[in-house]
Structure 1
Amino acid sequence: MTTQQRSDISRAATEPLREDIRLLGGILGDIVREQAGPEVFDLVERARVESFRVRRSEIDRAELATLFVDVGVDSAIPVIRAFSHFALLANLAEDLHRERRRMVHVRAGEPPQDSSLAATYAKLDAAQLDPEAVGEALSGAQVVPVITAHPTETRRRSVFEIQSRITELMHRRAHPERDPAEIDLELRRQVLALWQTALIRLSRLRIQDEIEVGLRYYDAALFEVVPRLNASLRQELRRRWPDAGLLPEPMLRTGSWIGGDRDGNPFVTADVVHRATHRASATALDRHLHDLERLEQELAMSARLVTVSPDLAALADASGDESPSRADEPYRRAIRGMRARLTETAIAILGDDTARLSSAALTDTGLDPYRAPDRLLADLGVMDASLRSHGDDVIADAHLATLRESVQAFGFHLAGLDLRQNSEVHEEVIAELFAWAGVHSDYRSLDESARVALLAAELRTPRPLTRPGTEFGERTTSELAILAAAAAAVDDIGPGAIPNCIISMCTSVSDMLEAAVLLKECGLLVPGSDRPAPNVVPLFETIEDLRGGAATLRAALAVPEYRALVDAHGGLQEVMLGYSDSNKDGGYLAANWALYRAELDLVEAARDTGIRLRLFHGRGGTVGRGGGPSYEAILAQPPGAVSGSLRITEQGEVIAAKYAQPPMARRNLEALLAATLESTLLDVEGLGADADDAYRLLDDLAERARVAYSALVHETPGFVEYFTTSTPVAEIGALNIGSRPASRKPTRAITDLRAIPWVLSWSQSRVMLPGWYGTGTAFESWVADDPARLATLTDLYERWPFFRTVLSNMAMVMAKSDMGLAARYSELVPDPDLRARVFGRITEEHARTVRMYREITGNDSLTADNPALERSIYNRFPYLEPLNHLQVELLRRYRAGDDSDLVRRGIQLTMNGLATALRNSG
């Protein structure tokens, strides 16, 4: 089938999507004309029409750019807002269409689609698995999406809520229960409200704001979806293997980095850690109180009509509720007591912040608080057993069952907050503490073996290194305060509040032991105690560190004091893999293969040392930072790398795309669970006896790609200047985008730049370099016009999920690139020779990579295996064109000295609009 035929079929199948886009775009256009005036509307329309003419090659791109050369910034901003709002509305329409198409397949009786749990269950049934093997493989099973802060997701809550209302109205419009004209009028009201609501804040986003942004997804979708998915999953697996003892704990939980990730972020303080943990706790407690309140309204059974269990009667009597109106309503009285006790729990944890709870509180009852979620679960279990004892199973299986699942999944902490800090900071703090305590005057001068010996000895003793009132340097004082706040959160809320301590740029055993000593110093780790301490999690990020990760882990486990910490967690060791810095270090193919090799080595190390390995994948939204479809990415992991457990970061605008609405949340969480089950229980690698040959081939290709990438990024004179002047990276740091500084250190070095602005900058300029550069050279140089070698790569593409996913994700990001627009950004480089030299190499490698992709896969286009992306590019990528041209024009003015508030705001709006439109840009 040709590209044109495929496009014609796709357009016919997606006519409802195009109708939705026309409807929402038409409403927006009318509002722009009315609110911004006919001149702005005419400029928007001219830009839209000319952008489509550019796509049809009817005019040169330079002609469209001239539209904005002399435009006043006061006119440019409403134009930017118009196209940014269109991107928001187009996203909404595409999400609705995906949901609509899925229902069409279901109603047609088609087999369930891959990435759904229904499809996974069918695969598991066909495999006829041994129950004992299933039970062992899923022991301790856990899937945890971890929400992180991100500078490309700066939408305000008000914008988020308006989008939700528009989505609901579009649902109603598809199934009208009232006059469609009324719905259209309400849609107009909401789009008008969206137009008159600022997309971005005037001030820099604070971590406090980011905390609230992360929490909003619980009420939006996660509270509804997570408990139901856990219940459904447990039921389906136990039905298949009733004697395997599966999932005594929820498989699906949530985590967060927002407020605990202080690597390169000086704004994370002790107060921020307290706020992050306690606002999360308040969110969970408020939900539980709300659900109890609803249960109290529903369970009005009279003791005159049902006979409750003795345990339930005792629970009711202990509630202290003496209201005559509830005298014969034991369930209501029991729930009143539970509400009262949970209110006391909230008061104990939150103090004055209890006033922020929306649920009705029951105070002054004289009841003791619940000290842990399992006490509340025990009371809910009494209620469940009593209901079933008099035949009310159907009632027990409704809201009560959901509440029990919710308490199990979210506890009193909601989501575990990970602490993360750079290993260099840990080393600096330990050195100062050791010097003050007389352990060693110059710790940093010691070699690795001496450091390990000193740190191991410190882990054998409970004595502290400090005493109250001791004065240290600013860094040490801040770190100790943060750790003390984390310990206080554990005391207040429970161990689930702070589950992990992650060590960025971990290169050695001493890096891991330093973190453990600091946990001991704040009381989170008590030598010889059975109190669970946070997991010490090494994060291997660079190519070199990934290669040495397994050796580092083996050496750490050989230290008895460290092995004791792992054994205290049931032999579980978590290791985090960094997709971002490895890519920045060695390029796309080299990083992906280094990660695969690292996982193979870590799996072998875990098997040899007798530990359970859980991998934490630090994936970003874009392909250059490990992004892409989660289902395929998990299936592309090597054998043994998943083993029932998976943690994965969710970042930026991708979070809204996945978790803003319950249907989307369920679909994406199902994909994580489905892929984890398949990777754990089925052979998905597909290489068999050819694995070693394939591994050696990828070793060769990855090194070729790394050399090509390094030749440009690390070895080309002037490359840093080209990057900083041809992209908006400098403005990302200067403007109010996110709370975190753009660089870990105040330098211009690529190595010190954070991965997010590195990738975001190339995405904004439409080069997308981190998602492909060097791969074409690697393939071309290895194939060398040898048809047999090309056939080998084609065979791997067809058989090996890892290789297929690498090429598919690369094609996705290259489809979003645009060398014509990238050329406009290159014109911002003052040095014409540098511009020609670097941009020339980029365009040559881009063409080479596209050609090799087509030859290996047999696909005639980059979107051949991604019809959803093909639709998106066709329907709305021309609307991105004006945003790019306006960004270039405003960057030019800003760098020429016009740093007015309006120019700054215009640049920020273009960044936000492009990030929204590209969806996985940072």
Structure 2
Amino acid sequence: MTTPTPGSADWRPATSVVDHIVVDDAGRALTEPLRDDIRLLGTMLGDVVREHSGADTFDLIEGARKAAFAIRRSEIDRDDLATMFVDRPATQLLPVVRAFSLFALLANLGEDQHRERRRAIHERAADAPQASSLAATYAKLRAAGLTDAQVGAELAHATVVPVITAHPTETRRRTVFDAQNRITELMRLRRRTELTPAEERAAIDAIGRQILTLWQTALVRVERLTISDEVASGLRYYDASFFDVVPVINTQVRRALLDQYPDSGIEDAPMVRMGSWIGGDRDGNPYVTADIVALATSSAARTAVRHHLDELRSLAQELSMSARLITVPDDLAVLTARTRSGGDDEPFRVALGHIRSRLAATGEAMFGADFRTTDDAASTGFDAYATADELRADLDVIDAALRANNDDTIADDRLLRLREGVRTFGFNLSGLDMRQNSDVHEEVVGELLAWAGVHDDYASLDEADRVAILSAELTARRPLLSPDAELSELAAKELAIVRAGATAIKTFGPQAVPNYIISMCTSVSDMLEAAILLKEAGIFDPDGGVPRCSVRIIPLFETIEDLQQGAATLLAVLDVPIYRALVDAQGGLQEVMLGYSDSNKDGGYLAANWALYRAELDLVDAVRTAGIRLRLFHGRGGTVGRGGGPSYDAILAQPPGAVQGSLRITEQGEIIAAKYAEPVTARRNLETLLAATIESSLLDVEGLGDDSAEAYAILDDVAASARDAYSELVHRTPGFVQYFTESTPLSEIGEMNIGSRPASRKQTKAISDLRAIPWVLSWSQSRVMLPGWYGTGTAFESWIGDDPQRLATLQRYYRSWPFFTSVLSNMAQVMAKSDLGVAQRYSQLVADDELRERVFGKIVDEHERSLRMLAAITGSADLLADNAALKRSVYNRFPYLEPLNLLQVELLKRYRNGDESREVRRGILLTMNGLATALRNSG
């Protein structure tokens, strides 16, 4: 009998990835409470479906659910489930899509609760602190015997900045977001409280009402998502968690470190600050305009000021102390003397009324009279605060007065959170990064230089001449343009955007727009061109050779070649006197951004990860040579193919010297909701970032010792082989782009207006021009997950050959080298989420039989090879032996992805065959969102 060819209609995988996930009886026992929660939520969802959509819809959904589990048990074929959807109208399929999407959302909540439950069990048992917690980090520092000087040298300027970015699959509406949080609180109430039977029933009924609300609420927007929608979505997380968590964790980590190392010199400043790209990242997004920058910065500032006002109101209600019962210090008396509105017997309330009035005046000055609400204090006649520091100084008076009356416990509650919140969020809330592609900068600067008569053909110049012209312009205060300059639409738009950034800085403070990032940065001129635009907007001032500029210029090295040349580029730009003077004026700190997405798309998973590691080593050497400090900004996506994976492990996997107490990292997609949707999980995840940053800065975490040179050489060879194997498929296989386009929902991602940003930077079909999110998202949806593993199997097999010593070497690295451990662990995680049986259904969308069988055959072969090599190096055939949480997720609920994938394939067939009805289009969009929710890190 002939073996079916991979990609042919009758091909079936020899094994399922689930066969590489081992769940024993002990594991099942530990997860029984989780399964109870999921069963409860699933049953309640089923009840809602039956009651509100009818028995026929319920029976179809329940039949699909049972069939999905039967497929996992190999009792039926995948075709049996797919056939259930073939002849049904789209109107009947939409409820099925919605049901499985909602179940994925509810299962996420159940898993989050289970993690809380397990942590609580360990804490009550007084177990050792969990790795990646700050308590565990402090213990490691004590064990290392570090001196105050050592700690101060690395953490004196410690900064950790999660940067929130937009993502096309994280577009859930505020109603859905709020319902999730209410369900979470109700589940938490049931778990933590001894309820009476009546109270238990009431809690269950309340959960049921939220599920009913979700069932009758559109999960995603029908209209195209706008950047203003994305701005609002990003700001949602501040009220949800950041306002509660960030000030507290900043206070606690600073106190803990200073208690342990009192003479370390650690700054009395927030370690965690927030950043954003939403509204400032215009690389490939034509919808970012000057108005959008103004909207993003003013919306953020409005959110911050409104929060401070609300907290002041609550604080005034709490601080009811009477002047007859306490001592009123002189500074507090001065504050109270400025307001005479009655109630002088309650000095704290009077003083807080004065502060609220000044802050209300600040809000009116920033946003106009419509900022005021009926609850705000009167602002007429009160001076606005010029800076957030002035507000904090007044709050410090309140703090000192409380402590003078031995009211420290009161001062350390809401007032402390507010004081730290003002210091952390200021009047700007977060820092909006501006980002643009270097090609655009070149075109715009060329036009400016031509208009000013400096040079009429800048693009024709070689690099040395470009640097000479740009350097000269950066030392002169005169602008290139006059107010009546006539510019192209592109140049006018770009300058307007940068000027909008300047306005935000002037209005909300320098932290409103702190960074300018240059995508596809390859040269010194690329960096100086950005400085020219900042100068033209009035942000950069040469000031006689001692430049002043509140915005840092940050190169983004993205492709593998750019990463390899990054250190040389940095050293070269630091040799330009005006630029070096700028870095010195900015505290001797240069930030560099590393692109995980495009390097992966360029060279594959292993080659990209190694190129990033090598680039960091080179950059550390470069700044040491130049005598400046380095801060790295990691442009990681949610999925492994874009640098995703556990943040703690990823940060510990950085090379020596790469962290140095400071870290910026992008947070995007479903990861934002998974990490920061509510305070408990937000605190845990921010602790993780802080813990890893502190450990990587102070401890020897690489673990290679004197073997580093040999290990680096080996990874050079293996990574080169992996890149070649990847490139053979992606860049050198005829018809690959056609296969990718037809076998995934790539085209639909672009056509259905998912997110505000176009799928490609240019109107081409080249892989190099495709944006990283649709590249990774498409492979995730089709369950191939190719960017997270392809090429590694061939590379390891080729390097090891028949030599057991070489295998033993890689096994040793897996046990002792965090970088190598993290790379393989993340690869195992992404392969656990792959399913080539499902992927084969997507391959059937490719019209060319020969192309389909040829390309899918290569994918199948490399997948099997990668699984074998993972097992050989790690010593375990269990893909998730080191990740119990993901193992639970994959085993317990991944069968629920089957219907979503098969429904997506069915709807894609209909759409591509000409059925462009609203129901089909909406169904495809819903399957994308549902799969992204279920996978939790898909793009």
Alignment TM-score, normalising by the size of structure 1: 0.98
Which of 671, 675, 683 is residue 658 of structure 1 equivalent to? 675
2:24 is paired with a residue whose SS is helix
C-alpha change, 1:353 and 1:817, in structure 2 (3 Å) is farther
Structure 2 partner of 1:254: 274
Matching residue's letter, 2:806: R
C-alpha change, 1:603 and 1:477, in structure 2 (3 Å) is same
Q: Does 1:627 align with 2:644?
A: yes
Q: Does 1:206 align with 2:223?
A: no
Structure 1 partner of 2:795: 778
Q: Does 1:399 align with 2:419?
A: no
Residues 202-250 of structure 1: CA deviation (Å, up to 9, x unaligned):
1111000000000000000110000000010011000001111213211
Structure 1 partner of 2:9: none
In 2, distance between residues paired with 1:486 and 1:37?
54
Deviation of 1:303 after TM superposition, in Å, equals: 2.1
In 1, distance between residues paired with 2:332 and 2:91?
68
In 2, distance between residues paired with 1:902 and 1:132?
65
Q: Does 1:388 align with 2:408?
A: no
Structure 2 partner of 1:415: 430
Q: Does 1:488 align with 2:513?
A: no
Matching residue's letter, 2:793: G
1:880 is paired with a residue whose SS is helix
Deviation of 1:352 after TM superposition, in Å, equals: 4.6
Comparing 374-383 with 225-234, greater Cα deviation is found at 374-383
Structure 1 partner of 2:938: 921
Matching residue's letter, 2:319: L
Alignment map for 1:83-482 (pairs within 5 Å): 83-174=100-191, 175-177=193-195, 179-318=199-338, 321-324=339-342, 326-355=343-372, 360-482=375-497
Which of 89, 93, 98 is residue 81 of structure 1 equivalent to? 98
Matching residue's letter, 1:246: I
Q: Does 1:719 align with 2:736?
A: yes
* Contact kept? 1:705, 1:774, Cα under 8 Å: yes
Structure 2 partner of 1:710: 727
Alignment map for 1:9-20 (pairs within 5 Å): 9-20=26-37
Residues 191-210 of structure 1: CA deviation (Å, up to 9, x unaligned):
10010000011111100000
Structure 2 partner of 1:737: 754
In 2, distance between residues paired with 1:904 and 1:141?
48
Deviation of 1:134 after TM superposition, in Å, equals: 0.9
* Contact kept? 1:506, 1:540, Cα under 8 Å: yes
In 1, distance between residues paired with 2:165 and 2:324?
53
Which of 884, 889, 895 is residue 912 of structure 2 equivalent to? 895
Unaligned runs of 5+ in 2: 1-18
Matching residue's letter, 1:10: G
Matching residue's letter, 1:487: A
* Contact kept? 2:358, 2:379, Cα under 8 Å: no
Deviation of 1:400 after TM superposition, in Å, equals: 1.1
In 1, distance between residues paired with 2:495 and 2:89?
51
In 2, distance between residues paired with 1:5 and 1:274?
52
Q: Does 1:505 align with 2:520?
A: yes
In 2, distance between residues paired with 1:560 and 1:316?
53
In 2, distance between residues paired with 1:119 and 1:533?
37
In 1, distance between residues paired with 2:22 and 2:639?
30
Deviation of 1:363 after TM superposition, in Å, equals: 2.9
Deviation of 1:533 after TM superposition, in Å, equals: 2.1
Alignment TM-score, normalising by the size of structure 2: 0.96
* Contact kept? 1:729, 1:761, Cα under 8 Å: yes
In 2, distance between residues paired with 1:190 and 1:665?
22
* Contact kept? 2:21, 2:880, Cα under 8 Å: no
Determine what percentage of the aligned residue pairs are the same residue.
66
Residues 559-593 of structure 1: CA deviation (Å, up to 9, x unaligned):
01001111111001000000000000000000000
Matching residue's letter, 1:500: N
In 2, distance between residues paired with 1:367 and 1:244?
41
Unaligned runs of 5+ in 1: none
Q: Does 1:825 align with 2:845?
A: no
Structure 2 partner of 1:792: 809
* Contact kept? 1:495, 1:532, Cα under 8 Å: no
In 1, distance between residues paired with 2:21 and 2:853?
35
Comparing 166-175 with 435-444, greater Cα deviation is found at 166-175
Deviation of 1:784 after TM superposition, in Å, equals: 0.4
Structure 1 partner of 2:10: none
* Moved beyond 3 Å, runs of 4+: 2-6, 529-532
Deviation of 1:5 after TM superposition, in Å, equals: 7.3
In 2, distance between residues paired with 1:898 and 1:633?
44
Q: Does 1:801 align with 2:825?
A: no
1:593 is paired with a residue whose SS is helix
Matching residue's letter, 1:543: I
Which of 635, 640, 645 is residue 618 of structure 1 equivalent to? 635
Alignment map for 1:688-703 (pairs within 5 Å): 688-703=705-720
Comparing 814-823 with 299-308, greater Cα deviation is found at 299-308
Deviation of 1:364 after TM superposition, in Å, equals: 4.0
In 2, distance between residues paired with 1:189 and 1:263?
43
RMSD of the TM alignment (CA)?
A: 1.2
1:744 is paired with a residue whose SS is coil
* Contact kept? 2:22, 2:881, Cα under 8 Å: no
2:368 is paired with a residue whose SS is helix
Q: Matched residue pairs, number?
A: 916
1:113 is paired with a residue whose SS is coil
Structure 1 partner of 2:5: none
In 2, distance between residues paired with 1:407 and 1:608?
38
Structure 1 partner of 2:879: 862
Structure 2 partner of 1:550: 567
Deviation of 1:304 after TM superposition, in Å, equals: 2.1
In 2, distance between residues paired with 1:283 and 1:804?
41
* Contact kept? 1:308, 1:387, Cα under 8 Å: no
Structure 1 partner of 2:15: none
Matching residue's letter, 2:828: A
In 2, distance between residues paired with 1:335 and 1:154?
39
Deviation of 1:387 after TM superposition, in Å, equals: 1.7
Residues 319-365 of structure 1: CA deviation (Å, up to 9, x unaligned):
xx2123x112222221111111111111111125514x6x8322344
Structure 2 partner of 1:884: 901
* Contact kept? 1:821, 1:884, Cα under 8 Å: yes
